[in-house]
Chains A and B, each alone.
Chain A
Amino acid sequence: MKLTFRRPDGSHGVHDTDPGTSVMEAAVAHGEDGIVAECGGSLMCATCHVYVDPAFSDLLAPPAEDEAEMLTCTAAERRPTSRLSCQLVLTDDLDGLVVEIPEEQV
């Protein structure tokens, strides 16, 4: 399945990924440096922040309370579309998902 990262410099990274991996894991595996993921997906660092393209918002379960709390005080501004990408696990219906990587993670 296809996953697209819109990078801060305007370029795009389009990658083939498998369902079951998280957006963060896919980013790291494909060398998307804008996803830092210091805590390795433990929901402790908030350095895997992304903005989900609104076209996909309805397909995602809303953030759990923990994730929503970790999104307070992210390095880049928090928007309604903000998510922590280690919590976004890819499923078949998310094929084609587009996420934007913010300017800053730390």
Chain B
Amino acid sequence: MSAGSVVVVGGGQAGFQTAASLRQEGYAGRVVLVGDRHPPYQRPPLSKAYLTGRVDVAELAFRPGDFYARHRIEVVPGPVTAVDRAGRTVALATGEHLAYEHLVLATGCRARRLGVPGQDLRGVHYLRDVDDASALVEHLGRAERLVVVGAGFIGLEVAAAARQRGAEVTVLEFAPRAMGRAVSACVGDFFIGRHRAAGTRVEVSTGVEALLDDGDGHVRGVRASTGEVLPADLVVVGVGVLPRTDLAEAAGLTVDGGVLVDDHLRSVDDAAVSAVGDCSRFVDSRSGARVRLESVQNAVDQGRCVAARIAGRPFPYTALPWFWTDQLGSKLQIAGLSAGHDRAVLVGDGVGGPFSVYCFAGQRLLAVESVDRPADHMAARRVLGAGGDALAAVTPDTVRREGFRLRDLVAA
């Protein structure tokens, strides 16, 4: 063990934030960020502006190169191959060992494989990191027919970018809805409509049985569960992610769909180990449910929370979840978690234009999904974040009232 040193495993959004916040909080010990061969970078543009060529790799970096030295953050190449909790050290692939007083796991996720014949053919892409994105950009330029498997956020963002680049695009979704787990039915349907209006074919309740070989090891098409064969020279699979928990498991930490942590984001087994971001499964302070979230907000706020604790200013994790996606010029912003809502009230210009959907469980507001209504989103973050009377005042009846604007409640 080493007094006064933090090792952060993973130089993504959560790992970067943890390291940066440690210094902002005045932590004086050693901070080592174990990253990969790229300086820490943002992922959201990878399925958006990066695919349409509006940003380049250098612009993805969170901070300029000299930031780390200036803040005494040692960025070392990984991966971490093992954790010795008894000895409080981690082993690196280089053979080196690093001692820690606090270990922060920020290992993120890997893309879930499709699990059908032909999934390893050339021309079949996944999108999780900048190397995936660079490979995809190269092929998108040449592709005429793209099939996207999975109408989740990433699949739909890729479909939008490919459409904007002129490819013929089909999206196949196994579930009856787009972005099913994360949004209400009206928002999912709105986005399917947007994609169809842009000329993309979207088929829901349609699975994939096989990816077909052109005889040369390259994909030539997709056989859908309906029996139809869709020709394709490029396939992008966006069927979700799995948390990267192998290290934690091997170290004997409890893992169940993510590293299980307490209300301060410490492993339930070992107070010297924390888990933040996409790999962390924590108790949502509002619903009481254990959740694992994949968002910039979650990575950033959890990194801040753990850094503050290590620097001597502990507080339980209670940040309000929020999220965004951007497709075909429509922005969706979500505040709160809609899981478990039993009614959704749409307020705004109807299903064609800007609107917000208020998701309630009984009388209690759980989440607000705003399509091209940023003011509603910002107000929703305030109201949901504050809780108490301000939140209780927002009921299905209030939001249905003529002229209702959430921001008026915040100003009051």
Contact = CB atoms under 8 A, between A and B. Distances in A.
A102 to B, nearest CB: 15
B333 A44 contact: yes
A33 B296 contact: no
B309 interface: no
Interface residues on B, range: 20 to 34
B331 interface: yes
B378 A46 contact: yes
A82 B19 CA distance: 30
B63 A73 contact: no
Contact of B24 (A33, A43, A44, A46): A33
B72 interface: no
B288 interface: no
Interface stretch (A2-10, A11-19, A34-42, A51-59): A34-42
Nearest to B49: A42
B145 to A, nearest CB: 30
A70 B379 CA distance: 9
Majority secondary structure of chain A interface residues (helix, strand, loop or mixed): loop
A92 interface: no
Contacts of A73: 378-379, 381-382, 407, 410
B386 to A, nearest CB: 11
Contact of B296 (A29, A31, A39, A69): A39
B317 interface: no
A72 B379 CA distance: 7
Nearest to A67: B374
A94 interface: no
Query: Which residue of A28, A29, A42, A74 has the most chain B CB atoms within 10 A of its CB atom?
Result: A42
> Which of A46, A69, A74 has most B Cβ within 10 Å?
A69
A39 B378 contact: no
Contacts of A28: 63-64
Nearest to A47: B300
A14 B365 CA distance: 45
Contact of B407 (A31, A42, A72, A74): A72
Interface in B343-383: 373-375, 378-379, 381-382
Nearest to A29: B64
A66 to B, nearest CB: 6
B297 interface: yes
B378 A42 contact: no
Given A33-B24, A40-B44, A69 B297 contact: no
Given A46-B378, A69-B374, A73-B378, A39 B44 contact: yes
A69 B373 contact: yes
Interface string B52-77: 00000000000110010010000000
B374 A42 contact: no
B24, B42, B64, B378, most chain A CB atoms within 10 A: B378
A61 B326 CA distance: 24
Interface in B287-328: 296-297, 300, 324, 326
Contacts of B373: 69
A69 B407 CA distance: 10
Contact of A42 (B24, B44, B375, B381): B44
B45 interface: yes
Interface in B256-278: none
A23 to B, nearest CB: 16
B64 A69 contact: no
Given A28-B64, A42-B324, A72-B379, 13 more contacts: A38-B296, A42-B45, A43-B374, A44-B331, A66-B374, A69-B374, A70-B375, A70-B378, A72-B374, A72-B407, A73-B381, A73-B382, A74-B378
Nearest 4 A/B pairs, CB to CB: A69-B375, A69-B374, A73-B378, A44-B324
17 contacts: A28-B63, A31-B67, A38-B296, A39-B44, A40-B45, A42-B45, A42-B324, A42-B326, A43-B374, A44-B324, A66-B374, A69-B373, A69-B374, A72-B375, A72-B378, A72-B407, A74-B378
Interface of B: 24, 42, 44-45, 63-64, 67, 70, 296-297, 300, 324, 326, 331, 333, 373-375, 378-379, 381-382, 407, 410
